[in-house]
Amino acid sequence: MASAALICDTEQWKGLQAHIGAIQKTHLRDLMGDADRCNAMTAEYEGIFLDYSRQRATGETMGKLFKLAEAANLKEKIEKMFRGDKINSTENRSVLHVALRAPRDTVINSDRVNVVPEVWGVKDKIKQFSETFRSGSWVGATGKALTNVVSVGIGGSFLGPLFVHTALQTDPEAAKYAEGRQLRFLANVDPVDVARSIKDLDPETTLVVVVSKTFTTAETMLNARTLKEWIISSLGPHAVAKHMIAVSTNLKLVEEFGIDPNNAFAFWDWVGGRYSVCSAVGVLPLSLQYGFPIVQKFLEGASSIDDHFRSSPFEKNIPVLLGLLSVWNVSFLGYPARAILPYSQALEKFAPHIQQLSMESNGKGVFIDGVQLPFETGEIDFGEPGTNGQHSFYQLIHQGRVIPCDFIGVIKSQQPVYLKGETVSNHDELMSNFFAQPDALAYGKTPEQLHSEKVPESLIAHKTFQGNRPSLSLLLPSLSAYEIGQLLAIYEHRIAVQGFIWGINSFDQWGVELGKSLASQVRKTLHASRVEGKPVLGFNSSTSSLLTRYLTAEPSTPYNATVLPKV
- Residues tagged active-site: 360, 391, 516
What is the spatial distance between Cα 81 and Cα 98, in angstroms, rounded to a whole number?
Answer: 9
Kindly list the strands in the beta sheet with 264-266, ordered across the sheet, starting from the edge strand earlier in the chain. 182-186, 148-152, 206-211, 244-248, 264-266
By beta-carbon proximity to ligand G6P, the closer residue of 212 and 263 is: 212
Q: How far is the CB of 129 from ligand G6P (least distance, A)?
A: 20
What is the spatial distance between Cα 489 and Cα 466, in angstroms, rounded to a whole number?
Answer: 35
Which residues, including other chains, have CB under 8 Å from residue 442's CB and lie 6 or more apart?
28, 29, 32, 54, 467, 468, 469, 470, 471
Q: How far is the CB of 259 from ligand G6P (least distance, A)?
A: 15
The helix or strand, by DSSP H or E, that contains position 140, with its residue range, turns out to be none
By beta-carbon proximity to ligand G6P, the closer residue of 160 and 467 is: 160
What is the spatial distance between Cα 409 and Cα 381, in angstroms, rounded to a whole number?
Answer: 18
By beta-carbon proximity to ligand G6P, the closer residue of 18 and 519 is: 519
Return the SS3 of 348: coil
By beta-carbon proximity to ligand G6P, the closer residue of 166 and 355 is: 355
What is the spatial distance between Cα 206 and Cα 183, in angstroms, rounded to a whole number?
Answer: 10
Residue 428, CA distances (Å) to 173, 346, 419, 487, 491 in order: 22, 16, 12, 21, 26
By beta-carbon proximity to ligand G6P, the closer residue of 161 and 273 is: 273
Strand 113-114 and strand 405-410: the pairing is unpaired
By beta-carbon proximity to ligand G6P, the closer residue of 360 and 384 is: 360
What is the spatial distance between Cα 60 and Cα 456, in angstroms, rounded to a whole number?
Answer: 41
Q: What angle do CA 186, 123, 301 make, to 5 degrees?
A: 85
Q: How far is the CB of 258 from ligand G6P (least distance, A)?
A: 18
Which residues, including other chains, have CB under 8 Å from residue 514's CB and lie 6 or more apart?
none
Binding residues for ligand G6P (CB under 6 A): 154-157, 212-214, 217, 220, 273-274, 360, 509, 512
By beta-carbon proximity to ligand G6P, the closer residue of 217 and 525 is: 217
Q: How far is the CB of 151 from ligand G6P (least distance, A)?
A: 12
Which residues, including other chains, have CB under 8 Å from residue 167's CB and lie 6 or more apart?
346, 347, 349, 350, 479, 484
Q: How far is the CB of 404 from ligand G6P (least distance, A)?
A: 25
CA atoms within 13 A on the CB side of 438: 27
Please state the length of the chain. 567
